[in-house]
Each structure stands twice: as C-alpha cells, then as structure tokens.
Chains A and B, each alone.
Chain A
Amino acid sequence: MTQQSESNPHFYAEKLKRAAHLLFFKRGKVPGAREWELKARLGKNYEEILTDLNRVLEDLDLEVKRARDEASYRAPDPLSVDEESEDRFLIRLKSEMTLTESRLCGWRIDNLAALTMAIAYVISKQGKAPRAEVEQDLSYKFGRWRSMNLTDIFIRTGYLREDEEGLLRLGWRTKSEVDLRALMTLLLEAKPEQPPPESQTIGND
C-alpha cells in the first residue's frame, strides 16, 4: 500500500509541498527543519524530495542548504533519540542580493560593513577573538558606542556567538548564510580605497 502511494505522482507532490512548508515556516527560534524532523515527516527518502524541491526552488533563485546544527542553538528536544541526525536544512538565496535590495530588507549599509569586519576579524583569529578586540576594530569606522551596540545586534541575530570568557565565535547564521571562503578571497583581492587611519576615534580605549 505504501509503495503504491509513494509511486503515485500526486502523493509525491504532497510530500514536496510538505517539505516546502517545513523549511519555509519558522517554528522555533531557528528557521528551517532538522534532519530527524524531515525523516519523520517525509520518510526515509527525504533527501530525494529535498533534491527535487531544490530543483523547483532554483527557478526562484533559492536553494536548500544543509547546515551543521550546533549545540548552542539546538533547542532541547526530548523526542530526538538519534544523536547523529543533527544537521539542519534551510532555504536561502542562491545568488547575490544587490545593495538596494538589502536596504529594502531592512539592512543598513554600515551594519553590513560592520558585520563584514567582525566576521573577517574572527576568521583571521582562527574563529575565536576577544569581544573587546572585535569592538576596537569596529570602532575605527563606527565609533566605540556604536560598535558595542552592533556587536550586541550580531550576537542577538546569530551572526556571532559569545562564550562565557567573552570570546566571540562565528554564529550559526554566519555559517549558514555566508560563503566564508568567497568573503575572505574578495576582501584580500579588494583594492584599498582610503589609507588606514593613524589614530582611533575619540572615545576609544
């Protein structure tokens, strides 16, 4: 009976819809769906369904992204018994967003620039940097008070993660949304536009 149903194209389309609903609609703090959720709702061949969904989304410039579900943002789930199935599937933009589009999405240009600086700095320090250092680096361009505020925003939105010792690491959102290799390559390739300031802005430690 199950085999017959699964071979039925209508039944398969239903699964595709269900997968789209699971990935698009945010149910907890973090968007997307975890591997065990997809397995439970779509069946064992969930990966094939996701491949097909990816094909459908391609026309809309979207893609299904598999990201590692870190313990820091994993919601406690007593039903999950399979410790290995901890990957999360998300839907993200496939190509690039323009500056105007990003503004329409509510992003300020200087916030994007600050995020670039913070991520690049943490990467250059092997993925872990003291918060004070990141803030000081940001303060060259954005002033001390704003850099502290921006760091708080990046932590709140999941782009950065702060541990008990005050060290900043890359957050779940950065790992899911940013192509880190491309970012670092582009930054190193970029031609300097202005000489680095000699002194810090007023208000720096």
Chain B
Amino acid sequence: MIEEGNARSGVYLASGRTEVREVLETCEAIQKRKFNPFLLDVERAVATLRKYFSRWKTFNDHCLDARTLNSLTEVVRLQNSQLRYQSSTLYTDPKLLSDKLRSLSVEGLARIFLKSWHPIVELEQLATTTVKEALHYWDTLLPFDVRRKRLEAREACSPLALDLESLESMGITAEQTFSESLEKFWMEMRRHAEQSGKLSYWEFVKRDSFEETAARAYFVSFLVTYGYATLEKREKDLFLTPHTRRVRLDLGRLVSFPISLKPGERR
C-alpha cells in the first residue's frame, strides 16, 4: 500500500517537473525574443509553481523552481517594458513595419534614412606605427628603373570579339547567381555525406581541372565560414561535415585555415 502511494507520488512529481520545465522553457524563449511576453499566462504559471512547491524534496527540484520563478519575474519585467514601449512614439507593430519595409524600394529606403541621418565627422590621424609602416614601405620599394623593366610593354595582340561562353569562362557573366550556385553546392555536399554524415575534403573538392578544383574550394570556404558545414583536421586528412541548417558560430573563436592549392598537384 505504501509502495503504491510512493509510486503515485513519484509519477505526480515527474509530471510536475515536466510542467515546470515547460514554463521555464517558455520564459527563456520569451527572454530570447522568440515570443511576445504576453503569450505567457503568468497567473497560470505561478499557480503551477504553487501547486508543486510543497512537494519538492530534492535540491535539484528546488533549484528548478527557483530558476522558473526568476525567469517569470523577467517575463513580467519584459511585459512592463513592452507596455511602456507601446505607449511611446517609437512603437510600431513589427508585422506592419516589416510589410512596409518590404514594399519600399531600395532607393526609397535610402532616401528615408538620409533624412534622419547625421553622420559623425571624424578625422583619422597618423599614429607612430602607421608612420613606421609607411617608412618601411618606401625603404624597401625598388627604384623605379628596376620596376619599370618589369612593366615594359610587349608586343600587343590584335583585339578579339568575345562571345557569351568566353565571358562566362572569364567570370564576367554568370549563368546562375552566386547564391544559387552556393545553394546547389551545399545540396551536393549534403547528398555526398548522406550515408556517413561526413566526407573527405579532397575527394569532394578535387576535380580534373585546376579551375574547377579552385572554384569548389572557394565555395567550400564560404559554406564553412557561414556555418553551413564544418571543416575538421584529423592528422593529415581533412573532413567536411555538412549541416542541414546554418550553425551559429562563435566569431571570436573562428580561425583562418589556409589550404594550399597548386596546379597539377595530386592529393
């Protein structure tokens, strides 16, 4: 009989923890500006805390209760600041504003900004280090006669007409936009890594022509920099792990990782 009572109490506490955790998660989401602070029924949340408070026995449960209560006070503070903000002249409904911003042209937006913009006047000045750098530049610069020899004009070839394909191969025009190419490339990487979740950098990047390899390496660097894939170094091998969504990167911890690429080199 006692055992049955204990089991019931255990189930009751477990469901209580889940409820309190849900309140805490909602509060945290509100603090991160994911929801409107008024979406949370504070009175109901307080009633939930009150319902289980006398039942908590462990230290962790009391900590959870305290954290939730603390988050609730933060939500109430946000509700207060939202009310103050709504009563100020700066208040605008985010949805209304977002639609308005999208409906305005780029030039229209720029013109509006210029009417309320008073840029700061600032004069950059020379510091000792920049003067030293400049002196070093002039000291190490080769005489003009020497430099001129390198620039001497050679026999010029006659002008040629360029067709669209040549312009595309020179990178002046493109069949698809950069965003489209990058998107396509990201999909390709995810497809290659479907089974194991990761793939060898060189196997993925290396192609028959140097130009194609360089272009693929260029796209990979973009995806890694913006958090769409991760580059890992294990001993001498490099591995790529594509993500299904963009991963937030800690900009302070990002490191540059140069990868040398030479024409004709085999990996």
**Chain B residues with CB under 8 A of A25:** 123, 125
Q: Are B90 and A182 in contact (CB under 8 A)?
A: no
Q: Are A176 and B121 in contact (CB under 8 A)?
A: no
**Chain B residues with CB under 8 A of A192:** 100, 103-104
Given contacts A126-B85, A178-B116, contact A113 B97 (CB under 8 A): no
Given contacts A25-B125, A116-B109, contact A125 B33 (CB under 8 A): yes
The count of chain B contact residues (Cβ–Cβ below 8 Å) is 51
Q: Are A193 and B121 in contact (CB under 8 A)?
A: no
Q: Are B182 and A92 in contact (CB under 8 A)?
A: no
Separation of A91 and B100 alpha carbons in the complex (Å) = 32
For B121, give its contact among A27, A62, A145, A165 (CB under 8 Å): A62
Q: Are B116 and A180 in contact (CB under 8 A)?
A: yes
**Chain B residues with CB under 8 A of A125:** 33, 94
Separation of A186 and B113 alpha carbons in the complex (Å) = 9
Say yes or no: is B92 at the interface (Cβ < 8 Å to chain A): yes
Say yes or no: is B99 at the interface (Cβ < 8 Å to chain A): yes
Q: Are A140 and B121 in contact (CB under 8 A)?
A: no
5 A-B pairs in the complex with CB atoms less than 8 angstroms apart: A26-B123, A120-B92, A121-B98, A143-B179, A195-B103
Q: Are B116 and A117 in contact (CB under 8 A)?
A: no
The count of chain A contact residues (Cβ–Cβ below 8 Å) is 73
Closest-by-CB residue of A relative to B95 is: A124
Q: Are A113 and B109 in contact (CB under 8 A)?
A: yes
Say yes or no: is B32 at the interface (Cβ < 8 Å to chain A): yes
What string of 1s and 0s marks CB contacts (under 8 Å) between B99-116 and chain A? Answer: 111111111111111111
Separation of A90 and B63 alpha carbons in the complex (Å) = 48
Separation of A95 and B118 alpha carbons in the complex (Å) = 7
Q: Are A205 and B246 in contact (CB under 8 A)?
A: yes
Besides the known contacts A26-B122, A193-B103, 8 further A-B residue pairs in the complex with CB atoms under 8 A apart: A31-B121, A112-B109, A112-B110, A125-B94, A176-B120, A184-B92, A188-B100, A201-B179
Q: Are B114 and A31 in contact (CB under 8 A)?
A: no
Separation of A181 and B115 alpha carbons in the complex (Å) = 11
Say yes or no: is A109 at the interface (Cβ < 8 Å to chain B): yes
For B112, give its contact among A173, A187, A196 (CB under 8 Å): A187
Closest Cβ of chain B to A84, distance in Å, is 24
**Chain A residues with CB under 8 A of B106:** 109-110, 113, 141
